[in-house]
Amino acid sequence: MKKLLMLVLIIALAAVVGAAQTKLTIFADDTRTPLLRDLGAQFTADTGVEVDVVEYAWNDLRSAYVTSTQAGEGPDIVIGAHDWVGEYVANGLVEPIDLGKKVADFSPAALEAFTVNGALYGLPYASENLALVYDKDLVPTPPRTWDGLLAICRAVADPEKPMYGLAFQNQAGNFYQFFPFLSAAGGYIFGYDDKGALNPCDVGIATDGAIFGATLYQSMLKEDLIPSGVDWDTLNALVEGHNAAMYITGPWLIGAIKSAGVNYGITQIPAIKGPNGAYNVPKVFTGVQGFMVNSFSDNKTIAMDFLMNYVATMDTMVALMNLGDRAPAYLPAVTQAGPDILAFSQQAAFGVPMPSIPAMASIWQEGGNALDLINNGTDPATALKQAQDLILTAVDCK
């Protein structure tokens, strides 16, 4: 009996020591890191497992995860966007996730965004998209059509001040924010095959509708209604100086807009009249953010415990929603959403999930290069057709 009791104590002690030596590592962006460190402290207090949250700038997260994981030094959990999943899955870098009964608590669209070949690879927490943010002092009534937007721009624009009617991040390479111009009259990223899957050999960024939208964009540049080459820092400077009447942007700019004291409103991007005479609301990319588990992790069970019991809760999901002003993927948290989140959600009805297939890398590269050419005066048809040809070559479709 004494030998049996000693054996039980030894096993229990080994388990405690093993838990104490285990460390759960999470790669996160600067916005989410403080919350995750608080959750990690609670997890450590409850389980004895240390949690190390490593902070990266959002734009560095993807490369940091791929590089470290391929070197065998990656985290157990990583935050990321759904359109990164295609690359991760293709390279075997993420583990399928089973949400069990909690699956019903999540937006079906958000779950679909993290699904590849029928398997779920992320626990989603938020979605985001562009919309039109306007200064109510300069634009008392937001425009419903692009004709109305142009009229406002022409009434307020004065590049000498400077004052612009509209501003958004249109620096070289920012295809994400250029896409609404291409999509309104029929431009698209990928078509679909007969099984309903994205077809990387059907690229639609040089259709007549896309060229029409890009030409409209370039005409606004030439008329000095919008500034060119606006990066994140420039956009913030425009906001701080109250140098634009309207912005096409996402929830990530709202903090700066509030700090600048802008009396703002949020609404849909106005409908653009296409070459066929029909008005269409521009489509925007929708992005879903979530947590993924490293397929090479030795702590997958512990990682899932953390995600299911500490992240997938009402308190955490509401906190995540409020941190970034993003629409929650966790349905119970929607009841706590404020007016800004609901306003961005209206534009999301015209959203297109960012494709998560590997061919999307060529879209970002060549589509972004096309924007740079258009900014510098190249004929939009030439720039977009060149980009489309390069994309098709890159994905072995030519």
Q: Where are the domains of the chain?
A: 2-128+287-353, 129-285+355-394
Q: What are phi and psi of 326, to 5 degrees?
A: -100, 150
Work out the angle between the directed axes of helices 208-222 and 380-394 (0-180°, nearest 10). Answer: 130
Q: Is the pLDDT of residue 119 over 90?
A: yes
* Residue from 356, 355, 367 nearest 392 by CA: 367
Residue 223, φ and ψ in degrees, nearest 5: -90, 0
Task: Enter the CATH code of domain 2-128+287-353.
Answer: 3.40.190.10
Predicted pLDDT of residue 177: 95
Contacts for 99 with CB less than 8 Å, ≥ 6 apart: 106, 120, 123, 308, 312
Q: How do 327-328 and 284-293 pair as beta strands?
A: unpaired
Per-residue confidence band for 8, with pLDDT thresholds at 50, 70 and 90: very low
Contacts of 300 (CB under 8 A, 6+ apart): 76, 95, 293
Pairing of strands 188-192, 279-280: unpaired
- Categorise residue 49: left if φ over 0, alpha if ψ from -120 to 50, beta otherwise: beta
Span 139-143, mean pLDDT? 96
CA distance 35 to 322: 11
Average pLDDT, the chain: 91
pTM over 0.75: yes
Q: Does the pLDDT of residue 160 top 50, yes or no?
A: yes
Domains 2-128+287-353 and 129-285+355-394 share a fold: yes
For residue 161 the two structure tokens come to 């001040």
pLDDT tops 70 at residue 14? no
The yes-or-no verdict on residue 10 having pLDDT over 60 is: no
CA-to-CA dists, residue 103 to 81, 99, 110, 336, 364, angstroms: 19, 5, 11, 20, 32
Tokens standing for residue 103: 């699956």
pLDDT at 346: 86
Confidence band for 77, pLDDT divided at 50, 70 and 90: very high
What is the token pair recorded at 291? Answer: 């947590």
pLDDT at 21: 56
Instruction: Give the pLDDT confidence score for residue 17 in this predicted structure.
Output: 39
377 φ/ψ sector (left φ>0, alpha ψ -120 to 50, else beta): left
Instruction: Decide if 56 contacts 260 (C-beta within 8 A).
Output: no
Work out the pLDDT band at 248, boundaries 50, 70, 90. very high
- SS3 category, 337: coil
Mean pLDDT, residues 115-134 taken together: 94
The pLDDT value recorded for residue 288 is 94
* Helix, strand, or coil (residue 25): strand
What Rg do the C-alpha atoms of the chain give, in angstroms?
A: 24
Q: Is the pLDDT of residue 3 over 50?
A: no
d(CA 166, CA 126): 27
Query: Residue 332 corresponds to which tokens in the numbers above?
Result: 């119970």
Return the closest-CA partner of residue 243 out of 338, 162, 172, 356. Answer: 162
The pLDDT score that the predictor gives to residue 20 is 44
By residue count, the chain amounts to 398
Q: Which CATH class is domain 129-285+355-394?
A: alpha beta
Between CA 154 and CA 271 the distance in angstroms is 18
Mean pLDDT calculated for residue range 41-47: 97
d(CA 154, CA 148): 10
